[in-house]
């Protein structure tokens, strides 16, 4: 079980959280100007890196706040936690284990 540092409540069990998928997916300003392929890219296609993934988490069974997490998908190590709307911290995105 992971211990996830909620930026508000502190270290809590993974079972209190729900994963909200990849972070920093920006909704296109003019959806009607997009091709079907570009719309599909926005709606469906996500990164699946072996290494650092920036994702959203919600402390669903705790304070119910959203926040961003930088997590290594190989080691499950949580490298950073930062608020919604903030830019991701500088991390070595090509971290390999």
Partner 1 sequence: MVESYLRQSALAHLGLEARDQSGQEGAQVRLQEKVLPAAVNLRGDPSDEGFLAATHQALGVALPLEPNRVESSERIAVLWLGPNEWLAVSHDDEPTAESRLAERLREALADSHAAVTEVGESLACIHIAGPRAADVIAKGCPLDLHPGAFTAGHCAQSHIAKTAVTLHQVDDAGAAAGPGYDLYTRRSFSDYLWRWLSDAAREYLGA
The residues binding Zn ion (CB under 5 A) are 6, 8-9, 59, 62-63
13 binds partner 1 (CB under 8 A): yes
d(CA 93, CA 50): 10
Burial of 68 (0-12, 13-18, 19+ CB in 10 A): buried
15 binds, among Zn ion, partner 1, none (CB under 5 to 8 A by kind): partner 1
Q: Is 9 in the site for partner 1 (CB under 8 A)?
A: yes
* Element containing residue 42 per DSSP (H, E): helix 36-43
Q: Which is nearer to partner 1, 10 or 21 (CB)?
A: 10
Q: Of the candidates 35, 28, 17, which has an alpha carbon nearest to the alpha carbon of residue 71? A: 17
Residue numbers 58-87 binding partner 1 by CB under 8 A = 61-65
Distance in angstroms (rounded) separating the CA atoms of residues 6 and 93: 22
CB of 85 to partner 1, least distance (A): 14
Which chain residues interact with partner 1 by CB under 8 A? 1, 8-10, 12-13, 15-16, 61-65
């Amino acid at each position: 079980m992971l211990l996830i540092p909620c930026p508000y409540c502190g270290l809590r069990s993974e079972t209190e959280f729900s994963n909200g998928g990849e972070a920093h997916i920006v909704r296109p300003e003019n959806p009607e100007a997009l091709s079907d392929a570009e719309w599909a890219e926005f709606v469906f296609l996500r990164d699946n890196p072996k290494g650092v993934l920036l994702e959203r988490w919600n402390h669903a069974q705790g304070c119910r706040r959203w926040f961003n997490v930088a997590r290594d998908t190989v080691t499950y190590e949580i490298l950073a936690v930062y608020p919604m709307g903030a830019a991701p911290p500088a991390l070595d995105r090509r971290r390999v284990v």
